[in-house]
Structure 1
Amino acid sequence: MRGSVFKRCQCRDANGKRTKSCRKPHGSWAFTVDAGRDPATGKRKQITRSGYRTRDTADAALTKELASLDAGTWLDDRGTTLGAWLDQWLDELTAAGRAVKTVANYRSHVRDAWKPELGGVLLRELRRRHIERVLAALAAPLDGERAAGNIGRRIARRSPATIEGYRRTIRAALSAAQRRELIAMNPAVGRMDSIPSLASDDDPIVWQPEETARFLEHVYDDRLSALYELAAYAGLRRAELCGLRWADLDEDGAGLTVRQTIVSVTRKQVTPEQAACPVCGAEHVGRLFKMPKSRKGRRWVPLAPPARRALARHRQAQQVERDFFGKDYDDHDLVFCRPDGVPLRPDGVTVAFETHVAACGLPVVRLHDTRHGACSLLLAGGVPIEIVQMILGHSSPEITRRVYAHLMRKIAAEQVKEASKLLTQHRPDRKDL
């Protein structure tokens, strides 16, 4: 016998043993299936499933289980719920030293959506429709009561990119479960119909060259003017700007190498060991020193002449600050830091940038959008997409094409216009050409 169906109830025979032939309309039906031997212990492995209301449904479930065994697709989730697996998965990521910000994002998605909605569902019973239902709820308008206080921007609804982030979290968690043979297939893989398509008007706002020039002139006398120059010309990320050291610059000033970043964190997101500064050993609250996230992030970036001149001015000004603080200067070799040498808080850099944008009356953009502007300049200058990809730190040119497709459309149109002149210059001047 590879499996058997039996009834579970409290009825007992004359010897006090549970009866297996009870005909009363109570209790539930269950089955036991022989799943072979456990490769770890060598012992016989029997799996019991219960909770079926009739014998027929238990028989059907047993047949399905045996079919999975015969097809070689049977897996044992050991009764693990999605909520329990998500907790285990997050703990494993933390123990493995995954990026603090990445794990923090995963935790927020698990806390806000996946555990409240699907935490009690067994892994073996999780289906694509469950994932779609949660994503559809995330895509709905946010028209309910909002909590008071400083809890972030108030928005009417989540963007498709935000909802896709929630999907990536559950997909990563279930992929790990699949690798451990807790599930046979990942229901979060593939296109999800409940995630809205990204509309064309969701393209980021990018300053035109004259607007970027106006901003740089506005901040020329600011302490961190060189930081904004590097963002505009080199396309560095905020964390890369905050973590840049003088030792990372080439001796001839031709470029720099991204080797260190400083990201914004809370105390709850890091352990005391992670929070310790690698230079002074102290904890800089809200700041975490780390290596670039990927191998492509550790890259050489060329510096345009205006950026070189800005860095030279900045170095002279920083030397004045060093002389003023003397032995009290907290030297971390950082290019951009507080006047006393302490690392900048990345969030504070964003606030300062937004204040300058508002003061000079330009269209509101994020600090990260200056990176888009730098890409636009490189593409407009004829720099090959493969070189732009390396400068920006993308893993492949395809990602650069996808992220900046909206910029490349305008540049491609201008290039086609110039190319067409090679032919039209040999044709008569007609009004319809």
Structure 2
Amino acid sequence: MRGSVFKRCQCRDGNGKRIKNCRKPHGSWCFVVDAGTDPATGKRKQIPRSGFKTKAEAEEALTAELAKLNAGTWTDDKGITVAAWLEQWLAELVAAKRAVKTVTNYRTHVRDCWNPQLGHMLLRDVRRGHIERVLANLAAPLDGDRPTGNIGRRIAQRAPATVESYRKTIRAALAAAQRRELIGANPALGRMDSIPRPDADGDDEPVMWEPEDTARYLEHVLGDRLSALYELAAYAGLRRAELCGLRWSDIDSDGTPGLTVRLTNVSVTRKEVTAEQARCPICGAEHVGVLLKPPKSRAGRRWVPLAVPALAALDRHRADQQIERDLFGVDYDDHDLVFCRPDGTPLRADRVTVEFEKHVRACGLPIIRLHDTRHGACSLMLAGGVPIEVVQLILGHASPDITRRVYKHLMRKETARQVEKATKLLTRHRPKQKAP
């Protein structure tokens, strides 16, 4: 492994040849490293680096490169910038058919944060300190004039979980670069000091409905054409995408009270999906704002038991849907969907959330998301003595640890009840103490 240092300038001798070691104060110093033979082409790999002000700087950089070669940690990023690599990485994710929402979140983080802050840098020059500074800016309070228009909620400061999501995006991108040997190490790994820790003393428990609140809501929506959807959300703990993608063929027909999650319905925009992804797997057409696809993970493909009230709601819903079929006749676009538009085409999942929230306000109940009804379903299962490992499978979590972390507040209440019940085994044998 060899390398050489030289000065690059336009000075030439009397024979017209370039002077290698010109002493005039101009030009820049460079070095070239012989990195062995390229296994793909069989040719020598000579890696140049330039732009050093002095010979000493070039020699120091050459020594560092040779040390990496000797240690086997040398990589060649081919002079690619962070912005160019992120664009290539996103294109690879789309080609690999990664989940549409995942790619959309990555693309948003790249557009709003990483490209403006680090896009101009060479991939090999990114260090942990650069990433720390970007994350520190994201975690700082948001001051100044806020943009106007329909851009979502106004917040005073990003939550630590939001800042952490930005770190996970650059970590995933740099991990892919490391696998392709464009960089030697991933500087975005591990905890970042610039991301504030959540307040341990703060009340981060989500707003929850008590069982009587859920019952009140279900009675309120009893006359709605999607009342069975809300029943399944309350009793089975299905996600919104799973409810909107449920088909009649996914419900057990052998008398077993349950269903299997095989298809989901995700809200998307035209820019988020390719023409192939937008094509409906049932009818082959494109439904605006709708993406029908299998669950993202293996844990999402699961069997879910159904309670008697949920089964009764499905029976009523099937009868009402048959009336709609008869009304549309040959124009009914049958997708075998349990919850669909009156003409049989898929629902837009985001519109289901809007309708849910309208009913919540009409009931005068505490405002929660449709997704939060999973908390109530989990609470019912824990109160009924269902083991946490079974609850995890029903809810579609990857492991029981996730279930414990997400629903720790529910488990605390149920654990207190169980401890009280166990305590009575001892206290019932003790004599009653007289009041002082």
SS in 2 for 1:394: coil
Counterpart in the other structure of 2:301: 298
2:410 match: secondary structure? helix
Superposition deviation, residue 430 in structure 1? 3.5
Q: 3-state DSSP class of the match of 1:29?
A: strand
Deviation string 1:46-68 (CA, Å, 9 cap, x unpaired) is: 11111112211111111111111
The aligned counterpart of 2:69 is: 69
1:363 aligns with 2:344: no
Of 375, 396, 401, 2:399 maps to 396
Quote the Cα distance in structure 2 between the aligned partners of 1:51 and 1:412.
65
Mapped to 1, the partners of 2:434 and 2:95 lie a distance apart of 71
1:304 is displaced (CA, Å) by: 0.8
In 1, Cα distance between the equivalents of 2:116 and 2:302? Answer: 41
Give the aligned residue type for 1:212: T
2:135–2:167 contact (8 Å) kept in structure 1: yes
Which whole-Å deviations, capped at 9, do the CAs of 1:325-370 have from their partners, x for residues lacking one?
1111111111001111111101100100111111111111111111
Q: Distance in 1 between matches of 2:48 and 2:235?
A: 64
Mapped contact 2:281–2:293 kept (Cα < 8 A) = no
Task: Tell me which residue corresponds to 2:151.
Answer: 151
Are 1:410 and 2:408 matched, yes or no? no
Show CA shifts across 1:157-179 (max 9, x none).
22222222111111111111111
Unpaired segments ≥5 residues, structure 1: none
Query: Which residue identity is paired with 2:273?
Result: V
Amino acid corresponding to residue 191 of structure 2 in structure 1: R
Please give the alpha-carbon distance, in whole angstroms, between the structure 2 residues aligned to 1:5 and 1:349: 67
2:215 to 206, 213, 216: 213
| Alignment partners' CA distance in 2, 1:169 and 1:136 | 16
Secondary structure of the residue aligned to 2:203 is helix
Name 1:201's counterpart in structure 2: 203
Identify the residue that residue 322 of structure 2 maps to in structure 1: 319
TM-score of the aligned structures, taking structure 2 as reference length:
0.96
Q: Give the TM-score of the pair, scaled to structure 1.
A: 0.97
- Alpha-carbon contact 2:325-2:343 (below 8 Å) kept: yes
Counterpart of 2:43 in structure 1 is 43
How far residue 432 of structure 1 moved from its aligned partner, in angstroms, is: 9.3
Q: Aligned partners of 2:107, 2:392: CA distance in 1, in Å? A: 30
Cα deviation for residue 128 of structure 1 reads: 0.9
Q: 1-side partners of 2:423 and 2:55: how far apart? A: 77
SS across alignment from 1:30? strand
- Native 8 Å contact 1:34 1:47 kept in 2: yes
Q: Which one-letter code corresponds to 2:363 in the other structure?
A: C
1:289 aligns with 2:289: no
Separation (CA, whole Å) in 2 of partners of 1:327 and 1:8: 78
1:41–1:350: structure 2 CA closer, same or farther, 3 Å change rule?
same
Query: What's the CA shift for 1:136?
Result: 1.4
Q: More displaced, 340-349 or 198-207?
A: 198-207
Distance 1:430 1:178 in 2: 70
Letter in 2 for 1:42: G
Q: Distance in 2 between matches of 1:253 and 1:352?
A: 31
The whole-number CA distance in structure 2 between the counterparts of 1:35 and 1:97 is: 36
The answer on whether the counterparts of 1:296 and 1:390 sit within 8 Å (CA) in structure 2 is yes
Tell whether 2:342 aligns with 1:339: yes
Deviation at 1:322, TM superposition (A): 1.1
- 1:21–1:151 Cα change, 3 Å: same
Letter in structure 1 aligned against 2:221: V
- Per mean C-alpha deviation after superposition, the further-off stretch among 6-15 and 302-311 is 6-15
C-alpha contact 2:333 2:343 (8 A) present in aligned 1: yes
Aligned 8 A contact 1:253 1:308 in 2: no
Conserved? CA contact 2:11–2:22, under 8 Å: yes
- Provide closer, same or farther for how the CA distance between residues 241 and 20 of structure 1 changes in structure 2, counting only shifts above 3 A: same
**1:303, distance to aligned residue in structure 2 (A):** 0.4
Q: Distance in 2 between matches of 1:208 and 1:18?
A: 84
Range moving further from structure 2, 256-265 or 398-407: 398-407
Number of positions where the alignment pairs a residue of Structure 1 with one of Structure 2? 433
Quick check: 1:34–1:46 contact (8 Å CA) kept in 2? yes
**Residue 269 of structure 2 corresponds to which residue in structure 1?**
266
- Letter of the aligned partner of 1:268 in structure 2? K
Between the aligned partners of 1:285 and 1:401, the Cα distance in structure 2 is 37
Q: How does 1:219-234 map to 2 (within 5 A)?
A: 219-234=221-236
The 3 A distance-change label for structure 1 pair 420 and 213 is same
Matches within 5 A, 1:102-117: 102-117=102-117
The equivalent of 2:184 in structure 1 is 184
CA distance in 2, matches of 1:410, 1:203: 13
1:235 has 2:265 as partner:
no
Provide the rounded CA distance (Å) in 2 between the counterparts of 1:214 and 1:160.
Answer: 35
2:233 maps to amino acid: A
Query: Hey, what does 1:94 align to over in structure 2?
Result: 94
In the alignment, structure 2 segments of 5+ residues that lack a partner are none
2:82 match: 82
Q: What is the identity, as a one-letter code, of the residue corresponding to 1:288?
A: L
1:248 aligns with 2:250: yes
Question: Can you list the C-alpha shifts for 1:259-307, whole angstroms capped at 9, x where unaligned?
Answer: 0011000011112222122222221100011001011111000001111
Q: Helix, strand or coil: the match of 2:370?
A: coil
How much does 1:386 deviate?
A: 0.7
- Give the Cα separation in 2 of the matches to 1:273 and 1:68: 44
SS at match of 1:92: helix
1:18 aligns with 18
Q: Secondary structure at the match of 1:298?
A: coil
1:430 aligns with 433
Over residues 223-271 of structure 1, what are the superposed CA-to-partner deviations in whole Å (9 max), with x where a residue is unaligned? 1111011111111010000000001001125000000011000011112
Which amino acid is 1:333 matched to? D
- How far 1:137 moved relative to its partner? 1.3
Moved more, 7-16 or 215-224: 7-16
| Cα distance in structure 1, aligned partners of 2:408 and 2:6 | 62
Instruction: Give per-residue Cα distances to partners, 1:108-130, cap 9 Å, x unaligned.
Output: 11111111110111111111111
Instruction: Sort the Cα spacing of 1:432 and 1:342 in 2 relative to 1 into closer, same or farther, 3 A.
Output: farther
